[in-house]
Amino acid sequence: MYIVVTGAAGFIGSNIVKALSERGEHEVLAVDDLKEGDKFVNLVDCDIADYLDKADFLRELGDGAFDGAIAAIMHQGACSDTTETDGRYMMQNNYRYSRELFEYCIEEEIAYIYASSAAVYGAGAEFREERACEAPLNVYGYSKFQFDQYVRRNWQERSAQVVGMRYFNVYGEREQHKGRMASVAFHFFNQYRANGKVKLFEGSGGYGNGEQRRDFVSVEDAVAVNLYFLDHPKKSGIFNVGTGAAQSFNDVAVATVNACRKHGNEAPLTLADMQRQGVIEYIPFPQELKGKYQSYTQADITSLRAAGYAAPLLTVEDGVARYIETLFARA
């Protein structure tokens, strides 16, 4: 029986495939669209049973080729560009695709674990998995929100596990292909190595320079949550995947720079040191992001903990330091 991972060559998807490989799961069917061929590197060290293009997979699903052959679908495939303005493309890729797989899983009684996003919350101050907290600021967030709503409307129709993962700001290995949408830790690492300094936005949303706060979660933890639910098929719901603690972009910058300095046998610096020495540079807040930017997010992980996920979650200081070590190793 296959475990299907869509978006398998992408950021979180490839980390899930790698984790399944390390667990000895050999019947993994990787599904993706490799139009951007460089993503293949994310799967080089993974063992999979087969690879299918997204379009071929959907066609074969419709033809019944996989009936009785799939144990679970871990649906990570999506357009994750929060600045994408083509709403038709976003809704087709994020909403319709997700809905097609959801309906197949209901019909075939297959576990369905899918990627949602904290973008559904928009500029709100509360981040609970409740309709009252949801007001997306961009079409990406809207596409994720609309699918969550579809799942809720059809909740009683489910015949097997259904789990939605509302990822907060995920960072970590295998994100190099994401370009401008890669995590700030990835960008800070490259900026510091190239120029000896990092660039952060000036204040916005009532926050000072670099003090906008997000719930930054390591991809290690995001994958662990996915595997927890895969291993507990009787648990269903929509869950926040974050640490439950917001930290500032300044915190990420300090953690990244000091991890780089440690690699070069240099002493750590405080935030004040970095500001004074020009290691941190604040740049004007982009005009095009005004009104579409989450200046604060912090996952309420009450529901996740109530579902039995008890493992500790990495702080920015620990998670970023581990990530930077892997970036140096790959470099």
From 237, 270, 251, select the one nearest 318 (Cα to Cα): 251
Among residues 89, 150, 178, 282, the one annotated as catalytic is: 178
Q: 296 pairs with which residues across the strands?
A: 213
DSSP string, 86-114: -HHHHIIIIIIHHHHHHHHHHHHT-EEEE
140 catalytic per annotation: yes
95, 140, 167, 309: the catalytic one is 140
| Residues near 107 by beta carbon (within 8 Å), at least 6 away in sequence | none
Q: How far apart are CA 99 and CA 94, in angstroms?
A: 9
169, 252 in Cβ contact below 8 A? no
273's enclosing H/E stretch is helix 271-277
Q: What is the DSSP letter of 284?
A: P
Closest CA to 102 of 82, 77, 127, 81: 77
| Torsion sign over Cα 271, 272, 278, 284 | positive
Distance CA 97, CA 94 (A): 6
User: Annotated active-site positions, please?
Assistant: 140, 178
